[in-house]
């Protein structure tokens, strides 16, 4: 993966991964849509004021979401991709890093929803990023479906 990132760049690789993750005509999008929503939410949270790269946050969210689809752990994914950047691997292993904190916040939001009482500004940022991710994923899926019909 690192070689691909060096040759084409993280943003371009991310775009290709998104296209590969979306189903073809008549395919079931539900499992992979969740991975894309998680990825885009991580990206939005990172862009909203963390020191993390939004592109790296997208990739770690996508890999974590795909691990969930495949019913394996993030640690197993990190082990399967030895060329994975250390900060991505650390986040997938659940280590306390900037990317790991973003991933944990997004997963907590997906699992528990908005905090009940005493929501922090960080919770609000995750909620905004999640709503934007849902809209983006729906738009991407519609665009792919329209293109496939032509």
Distance (Å, whole) CA 139 – CA 18 = 12
- Per-residue pLDDT of 4-56, as tens digits, reads 443 345 565 556 566 555 555 555 566 678 888 999 999 999 998 778 999 99
Stretch 68-94: mean pLDDT, rounded? 89
Average pLDDT over residues 108-133: 78
Q: How many CB atoms lie within 10 A of CB 59?
A: 26
Which one has a higher pLDDT value, 20 or 73?
A: 73
Report pLDDT for 10. 58
**What phi, psi does 112 have (nearest 5°)?**
-105, -15
Phi then psi dihedrals of residue 93, to 5 deg? -80, -5
Quick one: pLDDT band at residue 84, thresholds 50, 70, 90? Answer: confident
Average pLDDT on 70-80 reads 88
Residue 112: both structure tokens together:
């528990």
Question: What pLDDT is stored for residue 64 in this prediction?
Answer: 94
The pLDDT of residue 63 is above 80: yes
């Amino acid at each position: 993966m690192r070689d691909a990132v060096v040759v084409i760049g993280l943003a371009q690789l991310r775009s290709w991964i998104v296209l590969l993750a979306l189903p073809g005509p008549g395919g079931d999008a539900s499992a992979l849509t969740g991975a894309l929503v998680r990825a885009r939410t991580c990206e939005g949270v990172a862009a909203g004021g963390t020191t993390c790269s939004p592109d790296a946050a997208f990739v770690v969210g996508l890999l974590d979401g795909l691990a969930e689809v495949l019913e394996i752990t993030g640690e197993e994914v990190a082990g399967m991709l030895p060329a994975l950047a250390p900060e991505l691997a650390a986040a997938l292993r659940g280590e306390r890093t900037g990317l790991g904190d973003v991933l944990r916040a997004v997963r907590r939001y997906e699992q528990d929803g908005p905090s009940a009482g005493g929501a922090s500004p960080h919770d609000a940022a995750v909620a905004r990023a999640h709503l934007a991710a849902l809209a983006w994923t729906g738009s991407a899926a519609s665009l792919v479906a329209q293109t496939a019909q032509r």
